[in-house]
Amino acid sequence: MNVEMRGIYKSFGANEVLKDVRFSIVPGEICALLGENGAGKSTLMNILGGVLPPDQGEIYLDGNLVDFRTPADSLNAGIAFIHQELNLINDLSIYENMFIGRELKQKNGFLDTERMCRETSQLFDRMSLDLDPRTMVRDLDASYKQIVEISRALMMNASILIMDEPTSSLTQTEIARVFDMMRTLKDHGVGIVFISHKLNEVMQICTSFAILRDGVKVAEGLVSNVTTSDLARLMVGHEIRTMALQREKEDSHEVLRVDKLSDDKNFHDISFSVNAGEVLGITGLLGDGRSELFQSIIGAARDYSGQVYFEQKPIKVQNTTQAVDIGLGYVPRNRKENGIIKDMTIIENSSIVSWPRISKFGFINQFLQNQKFTEQVRKLQIRLERGTDLITSLSGGNQQKVVLAKWLNTEPKVLILDNPTQGVDVGAKEEIYDIILNLADEGVGIVVLSSEAQEVIRVCDRALVMYHGAIQGEVVGETMNEHDIMRLATGVSLN
């Protein structure tokens, strides 16, 4: 089946997400849909999958105009969307999952288990898969779950598959298994849209590519005609290093060093060091293991092997209380889940970390608490009405500043900031960057974890790029540009 999307426009409020996008896919094609976060890939595919209606534009299947209003419309027309979070029920077997919602029944109303198993087996045979339909989905590894989900789509006669980052949670061997399945499908004449950030995989499996940038399709063509480097450049655009960072640096001592850290799951063989007054960036794509790495270091996640040195002394932090005591601060990502305590006031949120320090016989010194709070409000320019209001009454940017304040109150020697400007508007972003740079000037060693290359370039002296739990390379000076960061983050090496 030929699919063609023409002149697609879509905006959310004033934000134009897609502008006159044309996209097509033919049988037997595996097309990589590429672009940075927020480029409009998901929106485009949600329109094709019937999840969102376009503001303008048409979709043609084999030359016939169609109008998808719900995901079911799209599925009935033969287009299946395999989301990143799989829609399988772990506690049912494979065949039950394959027929969920349209179970086959015998004449007497009971389920026709045998026929469902038989039809599932027949499909698996066609795909040369060796799977028992009666296996529980829970017992399958991630790649087979993916395969079951794809098979279910085929069972419903899908001839176009949209796969949203299918490999992000898979290991190397599992990826190979899914790729085998994709090749088989290709030979059967199925068209596949492959959304991914991993350029090496794109080179490996895809036949064609289309690149979106800021809602506009900027390039398309055959994969055989390009290199990963071309793709990375096209994704980012031509401008290189938006704002140069020139900070005077004195010779300073090392405050944090990490030597060959591994946790056997999320990160392996990580070594780096941070000096006082330095801003080190750690970047990469989602799921590269950087948050897990630093949460392990502060004692809030899995145990690790390797050695951490704090001001030249070997340490092993058992829990977050110890981390606070030695002067190691961690501003977490996902403010809502990890940063704020929504039932508490602004003042309390700003001082929870320092309560043990400002209390006597267990009683919190309210005067000291207010004093420190007022000081931070002034220093960080937090805009609020009353400190006794709930934290949730503040805007995202100001909430983030309160989360920063609770750590600044403890006067850390090393401050780790995980996605510090997540969900923060542009103005507040700049203010937070200034706060970070001021802290560094005061001699705090700073680590900024971020998936935004521009942010890393804006505030960091140098940056490490992670890929699949390992450090893929370091960027500094000339190499600190979006292009090189993107290449490292997608698993390409710089040389």
Partner 1 sequence: MKNLKSESSESILTRITTQWQTKPFFSTGLALLVMIILQTIALGFDFPSVGSWFGTWLQNWINILRNNSGVGIIALGMTLVIISGGIDLSVGSTLVAIGALVMMMIDIGPKGILLNAGITGTPAFIIAIIVAVIGGVLLGQVTGLLITKGKLPPFIVTLGTMKIFRSVTQQFMTGYNPTVPKEFLSIASLQIGGQLLMPILYWLILAIVLHIISMRTTFGRQVIAVGSNERATKLSGVNVNKVKNRIYALMGLLVSLSAVLQVSRIGSMDYANAGSGYEMDAISAVIVGGTRMSGGRGTILGTVLGTLIIAVMNNLLNLVGVPPFLREAFKGVIVIGSVLLQKKESNS
Look up tokens 């690790």; give the residue: 304
Which residue lies nearer to partner 1 by CB, 189 or 356?
356
CA distance 434 to 380: 10
Spatial distance between the Cα atoms of 288 and 491, rounded to a whole number of angstroms: 11
* Edge-to-edge strand list for the sheet holding 191-195: 79-82, 160-164, 191-195, 30-34, 208-213, 216-222
Q: Does 218 bind partner 1 (CB under 8 A)?
A: no
Q: Least distance to partner 1 from the beta carbon of 358, Å?
A: 9
DSSP 393: G
Q: How far is the CB of 451 from partner 1 (least distance, A)?
A: 19
Contact set for partner 1, span 271-310 (CB under 8 A): 295, 298, 300
β-strand partners of 256? 274, 310
Alpha-carbon gap, residue 230 to 98, rounded angstroms: 40
Min separation Cβ 110 and partner 1, Å: 37
CA-based nearest residue to 418, from 329, 482, 486: 329
Closer of 157 and 366 to partner 1 (Cβ): 366
483 by DSSP, 3-state: which? Answer: helix
Which amino acid, one-letter code, is at 483? Answer: H
End-to-end alpha-carbon separation of the chain, Å?
Answer: 41
Q: Rounded to an integer, what distance in angstroms lies between the CA atom of residue 308 and that of residue 272?
A: 10
What is the 8-class DSSP label of residue 19?
E
359 Cβ neighbours under 8 A, 6+ residues apart: 365
Among 80, 153, 340, 460, binds partner 1 (CB under 8 A): 340
C-alpha to C-alpha distance for 114 and 95, rounded to whole angstroms? 10
Site string for partner 1, 399-428 (x = CB under 8 A): -------x---x------------------
Q: Does 344 bind partner 1 (CB under 8 A)?
A: yes
Residue 319 near partner 1 by CB under 8 A: yes
Residues 36 and 235 sit within 8 Å (Cβ to Cβ) = yes
Q: Which residues have a Cβ under 8 Å from the Cβ of 367 and sit 6 or more positions away?
A: none
Spatial separation of the C-alpha atoms in residues 274 and 279, rounded to whole Å: 8
- Closer to partner 1 by Cβ: residue 110 or 363: 363
Least distance between partner 1 and beta carbon 70 (Å): 27
Taking CB under 8 A as the criterion, the residue among 187, 248, 337, 478 binding partner 1 is 337
Compare residues 325 and 441 and give the one whose CB is closer to partner 1: 325
Least Å from the CB of residue 410 to partner 1: 8
Q: Select from 68-76, 98-106, 118-126, 351-359 the region that touches partner 1 (CB under 8 A).
A: 351-359
Contact 275, 315 (CB under 8 A): no
Q: CA 20, 25, 28 angle in degrees (round to 5)?
A: 170
Least distance in Å: CB of 417 to partner 1? Answer: 13
Query: Applying CB under 8 A, which of residues 23, 267, 330, 373 lies at the interface with partner 1?
Result: 330
- CB of residue 282 to partner 1, shortest distance in Å: 18
Tell me, by CB under 8 A, how many residues bind partner 1: 31
Using the minimum distance from each CB to partner 1, give the nearer residue, 121 or 338.
Answer: 338
Comparing CB distances to partner 1, the nearer of 127 and 364 is 364
Q: Is 176 in the site for partner 1 (CB under 8 A)?
A: no
Using rule CB under 8 A, residue 356 touches partner 1: yes
363 belongs to the binding site for partner 1 (CB under 8 A): yes
Give the binding site for partner 1 (CB under 8 A).
295, 298, 300, 319-321, 323-325, 330, 332, 337-344, 348, 352-353, 355-356, 359, 362-364, 366, 406, 410
